[in-house]
Amino acid sequence: MSLKYCFAGKRILITGGGQGIGRQLVQRFHDDKALVFVIDNNRETINPAFSCGPGGLGSHKKAIQSFGVLDHVVNNAAVAKPQMLMDVTMESAKLQFDVNFFACINVAQTAARKMIDVGSGGTFVETQIHKSLDPAMKNQLLSRNIIKRAIDPNEIADLVMFLLSPLSAMITGETVVVDGGASASIM
Ligand SMILES: NC(=O)c1ccc[n+]([C@@H]2O[C@H](COP(=O)([O-])OP(=O)(O)OC[C@H]3O[C@@H](n4cnc5c(N)ncnc54)[C@H](O)[C@@H]3O)[C@@H](O)[C@H]2O)c1
């Protein structure tokens, strides 16, 4: 198979598609002629060219059901609140579990149910939390990278496109790290 696989006509849901990596994913799949569906709590950030669901965790399920049978799901929405142990509040811990864990299950289950109902299949990718919002921490992380530059959201999109394509058909349940060599440097 050629590396020029095309997502034309594929129905793809991207959560957290309003900004950052999600927004880039939305654009890349759209450019490749896929039918892109977007969910983001911050609706104003979603490009109006794309079908989107209302914000709020509770309403996501209904929105996903309204998107019909999907071919691919990218669970990208996440919140990151890096804090020192003694500063962590139950509220922030709960929010991170709600969005980064429970919502992923909710999204995947809702999409998978539709696929099962019609006897189709689909692929799921998650862009996992490993993020620092604090500039000092960001520089510290960057200094550990073997490749000394920040990662472009497009470089995450490249991997997601590969994982959703038939080129990776026999890769399943894997964690693929895109970190400029930061993990490798501490081994
Ligand atoms: N940026 C990084 O350095 C980095 C590194 C590794 C992994 N990631 C992962 O990639 C993903 C995207 O990262 P990013 O930097 O683009 O994040 P971001 O904060 O820029 O964007 C996240 C988007 O998700 C949306 N969102 C948050 N909670 C939501 C919810 N409950 N329902 C729907 N939408 C919600 C936000 O409104 C926002 O538009 C995350 O899963 C993140 O953990 C990011």
pLDDT at 144: 81
8 Å CB contact between 110 and 61: yes
Note whether residue 57 is domain-resident. Answer: yes
Half-sphere exposure in the Cβ direction for 24 (13 Å, CA) = 15
Note whether residue 95 is domain-resident. Answer: yes
Note whether residue 78 is domain-resident. Answer: yes
145 CB under 6 A from ligand 1?
no
- In ligand 1, the atom with minimum distance to the C-alpha of 39 is 33
Q: Which residue's CA is the nearest one to ligand 1's atom 15?
A: 20
Pocket test of ligand 1: the residue of 74, 75, 76 to mutate, having most ligand atoms within 8 Å of its CB, is: 76
Note whether residue 34 is domain-resident. Answer: yes
CB atoms within 10 A of CB 106: 17
Note whether residue 36 is domain-resident. Answer: yes
pLDDT at 49: 66
pLDDT at 138: 75
pLDDT at 80: 85
Q: Which residue's CA is the nearest one to ligand 1's atom 4?
A: 131
Count: domains in the chain: 1
Beta partners for residue 125, in sequence order = 74
pLDDT at 139: 80
pLDDT tens-digit map of 150-165: 899 999 999 999 999 9
Q: How far apart are CA 48 and CA 151, in angstroms?
A: 27
8 Å CB contact between 148 and 142: yes
Which parts of the chain sit beneath pLDDT 50?
Answer: 56-57
For residue 2, how far is its CA from the centre of ligand 1 (angstroms)? 31
pLDDT at 141: 75
CATH number at residue 32: 3.40.50.720
pLDDT at 82: 83
Q: 143 is in which domain, residue-wise?
A: 11-185
Q: How far apart are CA 101 and CA 63, in angstroms?
A: 19
The residue whose two tokens read 């994982």 is 163
Note whether residue 6 is domain-resident. Answer: no
Beta partners for residue 136, in sequence order = none
pLDDT at 54: 52
pLDDT at 11: 96
Dihedral sign for Cα 165, 168, 173, 176, please: negative
